[in-house]
Amino acid sequence: MNQYKMTGTDIPTEYTMSILQSRNPAMSILQSERAFGTEQARVMTLGGTLTATSILLSIVAVVGILVWQSLNAGYAAGNSMPGWIMPVMIGTLIGGIAVSFIIYRNPKSAPIIAPLHAALEGAFVGVATFYIPMQYMAVEPGATNPTAMLAVQAAVATFGVTAAMLLGYATGVIRVGPIFQKIMVTALIGLVVYVVAIMLLGFMGIHIWNGFADAGPMGIGFSVLIIGLASMFLILDFQFIEKGIDAQAPKYMEWVGAWGLMITLVWLYIEILRLLAKMRSSD
């Protein structure tokens, strides 16, 4: 928990905010941002944050659906899986990290940059929605593709988990203190290190157990743990938004809060989709 003091001589108050955490360690923000100006008319509100979140999620959904439909149409016509899938997934991930760094360095850019990140996330979601189930289920070109139903189920489950976490947070049943925040961040860093290790060792021809790819009981349990971690990060997003509103943070912070929530929701959706695909493959 960091403190941010106002620099204006006519507004001697303090601004305390939690650090926004999400699925990538590059997503930490506001560690050194002095958020207040002297104009209080344009401040962060719940309504504005909800509007920004709706815009970002709409961009993710529209771009994701268009990309998925393009892939699915080609596959349904009997074409093989295109070779540009992995480059797009890697490219959008790298692009997302770069855009996130811009917002990290300059939060005032969030109203312009966050929609761009949403478009990248949408492309990633569209490709992942098509590709992830294919890793676990044998679907020949031209056959009925089950990814549409899995995507709907994953989306419904994502918003169901979000609603449950929001209810728990609003009623005070679920709260994340400083110690538990450190545990969550440590777990996230460990997860990132594990992913990097899998990739680097794989390039060297060394293969270790991959919990993301394993569709057995251990792999399913691994996915459940990741979903649990992503769900708890929603609480940090809620805390960030609540504290920003209470502290009357600048208007652009609505987009920062919405941006962080969007990232967590995409992460949660992808992991739920992976879990459903694993469970379908084991039927």
pTM for the complete prediction?
0.82
Residue type at 11 in one-letter notation: I
Q: Give pLDDT tens digits for 115-159.
A: 999 999 999 999 999 888 888 876 655 555 667 888 999 999 999
In a domain, 30, yes or no: no
Residue 1 lies inside a defined structural domain of this protein: no
Cα–Cα distance for residue pair 172/166, rounded to 1 Å:
10
The verdict on residue 146 lying in a domain is yes
Q: Which residues make beta-bridge pairs with 14?
A: 5
Is residue 114 scored above 60 in pLDDT? yes
- Establish if 16 belongs to a structural domain: no
Residue 1: pLDDT band by 50, 70, 90 thresholds?
A: very low
| Res. 108: pLDDT tops 60 | yes
22 vs 191, more confident: 191
- Who wins on pLDDT, 220 or 75? 220
Residue 11 resides in a domain: no
32 lies in some domain: no
Angle at 167 between CA 179 and CA 14, to 5 degrees: 50
| Containing structural domain, residue 214 | 40-281
Task: For 12-50, write each residue's pLDDT tens digit.
Answer: 333 333 333 444 333 344 433 444 443 445 899 999 999
CB 273 within 8 A of CB 154: yes
For residue 250, give the DSSP letter: B
Mean pLDDT of the chain: 82
Distance CA 37, CA 43 (A): 10
3-class SS of residue 56: helix
Q: Alpha carbon of 202 to those of 21, 209, 220: distances in Å?
A: 28, 11, 22
Q: Does some domain include residue 29?
A: no
Q: For residue 180, name the pLDDT band (cuts at 50, 70, 90).
A: confident
Determine, yes or no, domain membership for 88. Answer: yes
156 CB-near residues (< 8 Å, 6+ apart)? none
Q: What is the pLDDT of residue 145?
A: 63
Neighbours of 137 (CB within 10 A): 17
With 0-12 / 13-18 / 19 or more C-beta atoms within 10 angstroms meaning exposed / middle / buried, residue 280 is middle
Number of other residues whose CB lies within 10 A of the CB of residue 227: 20
Number of folded domains in the chain?
Answer: 1
- Mean pLDDT, residues 101-114: 92
- C-alpha span between 8 and 152 (Å, rounded): 49
Q: How many residues are listed for the chain in this entry? A: 283
